[in-house]
Structure 1
């Protein structure tokens, strides 16, 4: 069998294999796009100045669908050849017919083909936390390592989110810090956000670090209040005149969420202004307390102690 015949046989077997997978999942879409069109791309972010005063930018990465992009490499164009046809049989015929083959009525142009399918989304599958020494002190930066097509979830749920700390060192540790689904169809102004937290211990060369993890998520406004419990000793007068020391629990609250605004692009492509080459770090959250209440009690020394607790939050101007 000549080389052309061997290639034809290989492509035929590949198509039959993909057809079997299609029948199992019941989804009529190109699985090449599902598996190969979601990849990591460079995404440089300015994070500050190093100890010498020089600017520091890091490639934190981003997950983006690249099939159907207006700017394609030669490899991307080869991959697009598969997306132009409704079946592998049509693709094989096109190789014999030459460049005269056109789209069928059922086939969409590759620019409109969802890279991960209608029920999937292109998201990170591996992330690490790099520690960078800046002029103002050490800084932890999350870096995307790999991407994949993940099933799109419409409900607000807590999802696993693995982070690798002290990558490629004897102290390398993987922690499920958790996250919340990016739910669609939620009311305007509401998002799926973390509302309950816990801590995980990460060993370092110098000490033990506590890493905050997400335990539960709920639909909340972009700027919202979450519980935060603090304990105090309180002196209480009993009916018989005896003073008793008790433990007092106060939910002081915390403001979570963000109120980001403005353009974060620092450097755009000269050939295409819509392409951003360098991004600024997201502004720090401006979600702040809107109202509060006072809790007054006697401490262990018989002195009056007042603790303020947050009752609601809002975005600062």
Structure 2
């Protein structure tokens, strides 16, 4: 009898445990599904385009031209200005020497633009493994007094994955927007790599081109085909072709096409921050820049290629073997 009771108790406990496991699995599935929806909301809604006007010059009439190039900002989890409640009017202006000073301080706070700063220790709006980045760009052509100029305008923003390796990622740009010649081209860009070594960045090393039809002529747009993790100043291939005369042992002369990778130096060499005075209301606006000699990415080493040209003369072509930042 005692053994039968123990067996029944074991059977009931086992069924209860199974029910708990099934309930737990269902709960986990529901929570994970809810988390996916929340992440999808964060990817779409927590990273938005905001207006950002930039002065680019004067038009042919002499009027200033400001273009809304836009910027991508996160806003979920932000603490809006004035969100912290005050515990009474007396406590609000008790820190100031007079009521006039208190009103002045309130007016200054109202004038300052609200910044979307996330609470310390809070997960960023896009998540730890995402960046708020543009998903589409529009190339806007503006006729200025100095001549035509192309301005890249952000169309939309979205949280994008942070990648661990240097790869080419899509970068869609629209040319001749809202015209019969409108064309969308994936010009490509290089991903931002997490934890890349100091002084190294993911940069384009191979390029291609795409044709854009215009009312006057064909425009050539350069596109990125491949990226590599390199230093700020780096060498990229650049092939040139020459005609070479070759004399064989039997005395026969042959004209051949000679391919030489002469190379190019790309990248920037300016290090540090040259801004000495920033705007108190907008940290992206610099009022005073430091004068500093600019460094250039210039050839460091070279190779020499000698051959006979079509006229039987010796031709020498130098090719870049390495690049370095130099003053």
Seen in structure 2, the aligned counterparts of structure 1 residues 229 and 256 have a Cα distance that, compared at 3 Å, is: same
Paired residue secondary structure (1:258): coil
Deviations 1:81-115 (A, max 9, x none): xxxxxxxxxxxxxxxxxxxxxxxxxxxx8453311
Paired residue secondary structure (1:153): coil
Q: Distance in 2 between matches of 1:36 and 1:223?
A: 37
Q: Distance in 2 between matches of 1:129 and 1:264?
A: 29
Alignment partner, residue 302 of structure 1: 312
Residue 118 of structure 1 deviates from its aligned partner by 1.2
Which of 218, 222, 225 is 1:212 aligned to?
A: 222
Answering whether residue 49 of structure 2 is matched by residue 37 of structure 1, we say no
The number of residue pairs the alignment matches comes to 261
Q: Distance in 2 between matches of 1:49 and 1:291?
A: 43
Which of 215, 218, 233 is 1:223 aligned to?
A: 233
* TM superposition score normalised by structure 2: 0.69
Alignment partner, residue 74 of structure 2: 65
CA contact (8 A) 2:269 2:296 kept: yes
Q: What's the RMSD between the two structures over aligned residues?
A: 3.4
Alignment partner, residue 199 of structure 2: 189
Paired residue secondary structure (2:242): strand
Alignment partner, residue 180 of structure 1: 190
Please give the residue correspondences for 1:39-188 in structure 2 after superposition, counting only pairs within 5 Å: 39-51=48-60, 56-69=65-78, 72=81, 110=119, 112-188=122-198
Q: Distance in 2 between matches of 1:54 and 1:262?
A: 35
CA contact (8 A) 1:45 1:279 kept: no
CA contact (8 A) 1:29 1:117 kept: no
CA contact (8 A) 1:257 1:285 kept: no
Seen in structure 2, the aligned counterparts of structure 1 residues 180 and 145 have a Cα distance that, compared at 3 Å, is: same
Alignment partner, residue 300 of structure 2: 290
Seen in structure 2, the aligned counterparts of structure 1 residues 22 and 296 have a Cα distance that, compared at 3 Å, is: farther
Q: Distance in 1 between matches of 2:211 and 2:288?
A: 32
* TM superposition score normalised by structure 1: 0.71
Residue 290 of structure 1 deviates from its aligned partner by 2.1
Alignment partner, residue 281 of structure 2: 272
Residue 46 of structure 1 deviates from its aligned partner by 4.4
Seen in structure 2, the aligned counterparts of structure 1 residues 167 and 308 have a Cα distance that, compared at 3 Å, is: same
CA contact (8 A) 1:234 1:298 kept: yes
Residue 255 of structure 1 deviates from its aligned partner by 1.4
Q: Which has the higher contact order (CA 8 A, sep 6+)?
A: 1
